[in-house]
């Protein structure tokens, strides 16, 4: 109940600031442009049906836009409250730390989902011209949603460690890009290490979804990744008990 | 209503408060007095539920702040040293949000917010965005925030800090009006604040309680002597001699620097004796020009020196001196 109160206030604050709309606009412009250019490209090179392979291209591009936007959504979640001093007040209300984490997390996830809704429009248009198998598209969306929520949980944690929003966004970029580049140069790692790294790479895990494959192991990995950072966030809030409040 | 026993709070190797114990009865206003860094805020944060003590226990309205933190917090309204509110919300919607966070039932939210606004004189700015309000009003929003949900206990950390004199007067008036049926703990590093508002004073120094007493008793202990500063346009030695003859005057010490040939002195007098009129008469009768005559209150620093010196144990701990007061 209190988590919902926090989530609601968070969403109100988000949508009453112009930043939310700028982020939404940039996200949709980029996503829309990538959809268009990928579609044109597929039509040029493939004499076959346009849909085969299209989702892979589109969602690999959407991944980048999501990576660009979400740390800017999560950066203020805790950092702003710490800067304002409202975080200290929240700790004096009868609310558990876990509820605070849940409220903030839910607000960012809801914003992300709202951000994704308009991206279904071009897909629906395409479907109206040429119906296609929906399963691969839905798999790709599921993958993107899991990936985005992973970004959010990471960003939420980083935001809980600082009161500077720029630091919050930059460190989140750093961590997420690290999880991406982990396997970029496959020659740099030996085979044993590579297998472990591949298992941990967010983006390699995401790749399967874009091909229309929902692998339970991938879903479990994302769930673990998200839970891990939510746990860290919870611990980060609890650290005031021995570190004090600035 | 509030019971603190043996509370110690450590942050790493730093001990912020050490073995503090006190009780506050229902309906009482108690002032925590101490210099910056004495442990006032740490004590208040423990009471408000921001963090638990490292050792010892604290109860609010019968609830242990460690074992039943949510119930204890529900009984407390807290005003932090750093006044905070969401600057992009209107006063009214902010207080409704606070009400929801404190568990006020939905049908009573509007009334809870209205009551808090009325108590703090915020109705005229109910629809204004908090970010557009003056510091004085924001401070009142902070108090209204603490009042929302009618908590039995109010913890106010330096409620008048950073306000201009007029706003300070208004804030004191507001705090006095809150007394009624609430238990209030407020902290300050300004002595008159406690004298004006509190039933009892707890003096904290370096994380320990130095004294607990009523403001009047405390004043009597501290004010071993009255003190008057005077500036006279005459020769130092003559004035000193003349003033020394007045009954009730204990000592006359000239200030090293004279301005425009005028001499200035600090005159110590016997306790509870106001000798200002006699001094003025003595000066004018001698035909000297009286430039300044005022009684000087003891500063918190001096009070601390007095108290700390009276208490042998604390004095021993503080051999390094009290220069950081």
Q: What is the ipTM of this complex?
A: 0.88
Strand B200-205 and strand B29-33: pairing? Answer: parallel
From B25-29, B74-78, B236-240, the region with the lowest mean pLDDT:
B236-240
The string of pLDDT tens digits covering residues B3-15 is 999 999 999 889 9
Do A5 and B101 lie within an 8 Å CB cutoff? yes
Question: Tokens 């409202």 appear where?
Answer: A86
Considering the domain B224-295 in this protein, what is its CATH number? Answer: 3.30.70.1340
Please answer yes or no on whether B84 and A84 come within 8 Å at the CB atom. Answer: yes
Q: What is the pLDDT of residue B117?
A: 94
Tokens of A166: 């720029």
pLDDT (average), residues A41-59: 76
CA-only gyration radius of chain B, Å: 24
Which residue among B11, B42, B78 places its CB closest to the CB of A92?
A: B78
Task: For residue A33, give every residue at least 6 positions away whose Cβ sits within 8 Å of its Cβ, in sequence order, or none.
Answer: none
pTM: 0.83
Give the pLDDT of residue B322.
Answer: 37
Backbone angles phi, psi at B90, to 5 degrees: -80, 155
pLDDT at res. B310: 55
| Interface touch A2/B80, C-beta < 8 Å | no
- Reported in sequence order, the residue ranges of chain B that DSSP labels E, i.e. its strands, are 2-11, 14-24, 29-33, 55-60, 63-64, 76-79, 153-157, 183-188, 200-205, 208-213, 226-233, 249-254, 263-269, 289-295
Q: How far is CA B123 from CA B16, B92, B138, in A?
A: 39, 9, 13
pLDDT at A50: 61
Contacts of B103 in chain A (CB under 8 A): 2, 94
Q: Work out the mean pLDDT of chain B and round it to a whole number.
A: 84
Torsion of CA B205, B189, B73, A97, to 10 degrees: -80
**What is residue B319's predicted lDDT score, i.e. its pLDDT?**
37
- For the ranges B26-30, B44-48, B62-66, the lowest mean pLDDT is seen at B26-30
Q: Is B267 helix (H, G, I), strand (E, B) or coil?
A: strand
Residue B301 to chain A, least CA–CA distance (Å): 25
State yes or no: pLDDT of B66 exceeds 90: yes
Please give the residue of chain B at the shortest CA–CA distance from A103.
B101
Q: Which residue is closest to A94 within chain B, CA to CA? A: B70
- Nearest CA among B150, B86, B141 for reference residue B112: B150
Q: Which has more confidence, A109 or A191?
A: A109
Spatial contact of A91 and B50, defined as CB atoms under 8 Å apart: yes
Q: How far apart are CA B53 and CA B50, in angstroms?
A: 10
Q: What is the pLDDT of residue A117?
A: 95
DSSP for residue B199: S
Residue B323 pLDDT exceeds 50: no
Residue B85 to residue A16, Cβ atoms within 8 A = no
pLDDT band at A236 (very low <50, low <70, confident <90, very high): very high
For B85, the closest chain A residue by CA position comes to A86
Separation between Cα atoms, residue B322 and residue A30, nearest integer Å: 63
Radius of gyration (C-alpha) of chain A in whole angstroms: 19
Helix H segments across chain A?
2-15, 18-45, 54-74, 76-84, 86-90, 97-116, 120-129, 134-160, 165-181, 191-200, 202-210, 216-238, 240-243
Give the start-to-end residue ranges of the domains of chain B: 2-221, 224-295
How much is the pLDDT for B116?
92
In this predicted model, what pLDDT tens digit does every residue of A177-217 receive, in sequence order?
888 877 666 666 677 777 777 777 888 888 889 888 899 99
Identity of the residue in B52, B85, B103 whose CB atom sits nearest the CB atom of A86: B85
> Are B70 and A95 a contacting pair at CB < 8 A?
yes
Asked if residue B36 lies in contact with residue B207, where contact means CB atoms within 8 angstroms, the answer is: no
Q: What is the mean pLDDT of residues B99-119?
A: 93
Which residues in chain B have their CB less than 8 angstroms from residue A94's CB? 70-71, 73-74, 101-103
Contact B117, B95 (CB under 8 A): yes
Asked if B84's CB is within 8 angstroms of A86's CB, the reply is yes
Q: Round to whole Å and give the CA distance between B179 and B77.
A: 13
CB contact under 8 A, A95 and B52: no
Residue B128 is predicted with a pLDDT of 95
Interchain CB distance below 8 Å, B97 and A244: no
* pLDDT value, residue B320: 36
- CB count within 10 Å of CB B109 equals 18
pLDDT in the model for residue B182: 87
**Chain B residues lying within 8 Å of A12, measured CB to CB:** 89
CA–CA separation, A160 and A148 (whole Å): 18
Question: What is the pLDDT, as a whole number, of residue A197?
Answer: 72
> Stretch B207-217: mean pLDDT, rounded?
84
Q: Which of A16, A84, A94 sits opposite B70 (nearest CB)?
A: A94
Subunit contact A96:B70, Cβ cutoff 8 A: yes
Q: In the predicted model, is pLDDT for residue B149 greater than 50?
A: yes
Q: Give percent of chain A above pLDDT 70.
A: 94
pLDDT the model gives residue A145: 96
Instruction: Evaluate if residue A173 carries a pLDDT over 90.
Output: yes
Mean pLDDT over each residue of chain A, to the nearest integer: 89
Q: Answer yes or no: are the C-beta atoms of B43 and B20 closer than 8 Å.
A: yes
B interface residues, A as partner, C-beta within 8 Å: 11-12, 16, 42, 45, 48-52, 70-71, 73-74, 76, 78, 80, 82-89, 97-98, 100-103, 145
Question: Residue B51 and residue A244: Cβ atoms within 8 Å?
Answer: yes
Q: What CATH superfamily is the domain B2-221?
A: P-loop containing nucleotide triphosphate hydrolases (3.40.50.300)
Residue B242 Cα, gap to closest chain A Cα (Å): 55
Mean pLDDT, residues B41-58:
94
CB contact under 8 A, B51 and A85: no
Residue B123: what pLDDT? 92
Residue B325 is predicted with a pLDDT of 36
Give A88→chain B minimum CA distance, Å.
Answer: 7
pLDDT of residue A38: 87
Q: What is the DSSP string of B213-251?
A: E-HHHHHHHH-SSEEEEEEEES-HHHHHHHHHTSTTEEE
pLDDT at A111: 96
Query: In the numeric block, which tokens belong to residue B62?
Result: 């019968």
d(CA B234, CA B232): 6
**Could you say which DSSP state residue B198 is in?**
-
Report residue A74's pLDDT band, with 50, 70 and 90 as the boundaries: very high
Give the model's pLDDT for residue A62: 92
Nearest of A198, A224, A199, A52 to residue A146 by alpha carbon: A224
A163 interaction partners in chain B (CB closer than 8 Å): none
Which of A5, A243, A245 is the closest to B45 by Cβ? A245
What's the rounded Cα separation, in Å, for the pair B315 and B321?
Answer: 9
- The pLDDT, as a whole number, for residue A163 is 93
Q: In this complex, which of A9, A94, A243 lies closest to B97 when CB atoms are compared?
A: A9
Would you say how long chain A is, in residues? 246
Q: Are B202 and B31 in contact, with CB atoms under 8 Å apart?
A: yes
Q: What is the pLDDT of residue B224?
A: 57
Greatest mean pLDDT range, A217-226, B193-202, B231-240, B307-316: A217-226
Beta-sheet strand order (sheet of B2-11)? B14-24, B2-11, B55-60, B63-64
Residue B16: list chain A partners with CB under 8 A: 244
Across B13-19, average pLDDT: 91
A94 vs B80, B82, B102: nearest CB: B102
- What are the tens digits of pLDDT across the range B219-270? 666 665 678 888 888 888 888 888 888 888 888 888 876 666 778 888 888 7
What pLDDT, on a 0 to 100 scale, did the predictor assign at position B318?
A: 37
Contact B78 A244 (CB under 8 A): no
Is residue B209 pLDDT above 70, yes or no? yes
Is the predicted pLDDT of residue B36 greater than 50, yes or no?
yes
How big is the A-B interface in CB pairs under 8 Å? 75
Q: Residue A241, class by beta-carbon neighbours within 10 Å (0-12 exposed, 13-18 middle, 19+ buried)?
A: middle
Q: Which of B50, B76, B87 comes nearest A88 by C-beta?
A: B50
Share of chain B above pLDDT 90, in %: 42
Find, in chain B, the residue whose alpha carbon is nearest to that of A86.
Answer: B84
């Amino acid at each position: 109940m209190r988590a919902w109160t926090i989530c609601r206030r968070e969403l109100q604050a988000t949508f009453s600031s112009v930043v939310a709309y700028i982020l939404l606009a940039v996200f949709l412009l980029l996503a829309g442009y990538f959809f268009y250019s990928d579609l044109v490209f597929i039509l040029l090179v493939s004499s076959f049906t346009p849909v085969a392979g299209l989702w892979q291209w589109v969602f690999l591009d959407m991944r980048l836009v999501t990576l660009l936007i979400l740390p800017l959504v999560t950066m203020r979640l805790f950092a702003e409250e710490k800067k304002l001093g409202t975080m200290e007040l929240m700790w004096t209300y009868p609310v558990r730390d876990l509820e605070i984490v849940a409220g903030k997390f839910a607000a960012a996830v809801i914003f992300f989902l709202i951000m994704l809704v308009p991206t279904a429009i071009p897909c629906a248009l395409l479907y109206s011209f040429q119906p296609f198998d929906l399963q691969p598209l839905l798999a790709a969306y599921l993958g993107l949603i899991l990936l985005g929520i992973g970004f959010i949980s990471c960003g939420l944690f980083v935001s809980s460690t600082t009161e500077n929003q720029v630091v919050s966004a930059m460190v989140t970029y750093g961590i997420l890009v690290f999880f991406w580049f982990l396997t970029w140069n496959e020659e740099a790692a030996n085979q044993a290490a590579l297998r472990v790294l591949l298992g941990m790479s967010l983006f390699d895990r995401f790749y399967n979804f874009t091909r229309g494959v929902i692998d339970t192991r991938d879903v479990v990995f994302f769930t673990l990744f998200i839970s891990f950072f939510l746990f860290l966030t919870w611990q980060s809030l609890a650290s005031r008990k021995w570190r004090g409040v600035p | 209503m509030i019971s603190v026993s043996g509370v110690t709070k450590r942050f790493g190797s730093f001990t912020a408060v050490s073995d503090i114990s006190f009780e506050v009865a229902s309906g009482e206003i108690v002032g925590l007095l101490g210099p910056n860094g004495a442990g006032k805020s740490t004590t208040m944060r423990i009471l408000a539920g921001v963090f638990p003590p490292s050792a010892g226990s604290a109860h609010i309205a019968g609830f242990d702040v460690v074992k039943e933190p949510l119930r204890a917090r529900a009984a407390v309204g807290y005003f932090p040293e750093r006044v905070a509110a969401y600057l992009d919300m209107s006063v009214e919607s902010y207080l409704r949000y606070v009400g929801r966070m404190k568990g006020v039932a939905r049908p009573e939210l509007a009334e809870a917010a209205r009551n808090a606004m009325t108590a703090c004189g915020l109705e005229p700015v109910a629809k204004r965005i908090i970010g557009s309000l003056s510091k004085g009003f924001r401070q009142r929003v902070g108090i209204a925030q603490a009042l929302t949900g009618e908590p039995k206990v109010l913890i106010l950390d330096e409620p008048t800090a950073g306000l201009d004199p007029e706003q300070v007067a208004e804030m004191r008036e507001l705090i006095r009006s809150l007394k009624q049926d609430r238990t209030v703990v407020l902290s300050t590093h300004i002595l008159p604040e406690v004298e004006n508002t509190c039933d009892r004073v707890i003096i904290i120094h370096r994380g320990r309680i130095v004294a607990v007493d009523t403001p009047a008793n405390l004043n009597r202990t501290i004010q071993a002597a009255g003190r008057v500063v005077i500036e006279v346009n005459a020769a130092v030695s003559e004035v000193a001699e003349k003033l020394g003859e007045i009954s009730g005057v204990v000592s006359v010490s000239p200030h090293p620097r004279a301005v425009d040939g005028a001499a200035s002195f600090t005159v110590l007098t016997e306790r509870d004796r106001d000798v200002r009129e006699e001094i003025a008469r003595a000066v004018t009768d001698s035909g000297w020009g009286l430039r300044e005559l005022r009684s000087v209150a003891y500063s918190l620093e001096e009070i601390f020196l007095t108290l700390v010196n009276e208490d042998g144990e604390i004095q021993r701990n503080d051999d390094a001196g009290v220069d950081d007061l």
